[in-house]
């Protein structure tokens, strides 16, 4: 299964609404099941350097089927995934990337958000993901 354009638009709209609600201009990327960019928004005044980070957070989540923040916990010095962020053309191993699932819990893509604090990025990513089906992480 793959995320449809309509689903990606729904995720993007929900994430943008949350970013506006908290008052932070964000870069928001949605990738499909193959980690290909499906939809992207750089909100007015969002930091330019965060565009690439948002895309990489989404790809990171999809490549490893977990939130980018969870991968970050596993990649700390001494962890069994230490230095993994240097693989796959560069990963982002802090919060703001979340996998997207369909109604039968299959991964259909991922969302990546960057532009605020790590906590804000994660909050906006979860809001986007929840536009499809509730997320717990």
Q: Which two tokens stand for residue 127?
A: 């809001």
> Is residue 98 situated within a structural domain?
yes
What pLDDT sits at residue 82? 60
Euclidean distance between CA atoms 6 and 82, whole angstroms = 37
Residue 28: inside a domain: yes
**Residues written for the chain:** 137
Query: Into how many domains does the chain fold?
Result: 1
- Residues spanned by the domain of 29: 5-130
* CATH code: domain of residue 50: 3.30.450.150
The predicted-structure confidence for 26-75, as pLDDT tens digits, reads as follows 999 999 999 999 999 999 999 999 999 999 999 999 998 988 778 677 66
Q: Beta partners for 24?
A: none
Q: Kindly write down the DSSP assignment for every residue of 89-117, as one continuous string.
A: T----SSSEEEEE-TTS-EEEEEEEESS-
- The answer as to whether 71 is a domain residue is yes
Is the residue at 137 inside a domain?
no
Is residue 47 within 8 A of residue 115, CB to CB? The reply is yes
Distance of CA 97 to the CA centre of its chain: 3
Q: Is 100 helix (H, G, I), strand (E, B) or coil?
A: strand
Would residue 112 count as lying in a domain? yes
For 68-98, write each residue's pLDDT tens digit: 778 677 666 777 766 667 666 767 778 899 9
Note whether residue 136 is domain-resident.
Answer: no
What are the tokens at 59?
């790809």
């Amino acid at each position: 299964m793959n995320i449809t354009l309509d689903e990606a638009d729904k995720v993007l709209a929900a994430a943008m609404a949350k970013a506006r609600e908290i008052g932070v201009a964000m870069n928001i990327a949605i990738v499909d099941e193959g980690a290909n960019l499906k939809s992207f928004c750089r909100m007015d005044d969002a930091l330019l350097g965060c565009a690439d980070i948002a895309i990489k957070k989404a790809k990171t989540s999809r490549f490893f089927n977990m939130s980018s923040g969870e991968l970050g916990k596993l990649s700390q010095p001494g962890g069994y995934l230490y230095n993994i962020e240097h693989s796959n053309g560069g990963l982002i191993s802090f919060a703001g990337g979340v996998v997207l699932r369909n109604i039968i819990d299959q991964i259909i893509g991922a969302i990546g958000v960057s532009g605020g604090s790590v906590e804000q990025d994660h909050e906006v990513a979860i809001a986007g993901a929840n536009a499809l089906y509730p997320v717990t992480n």
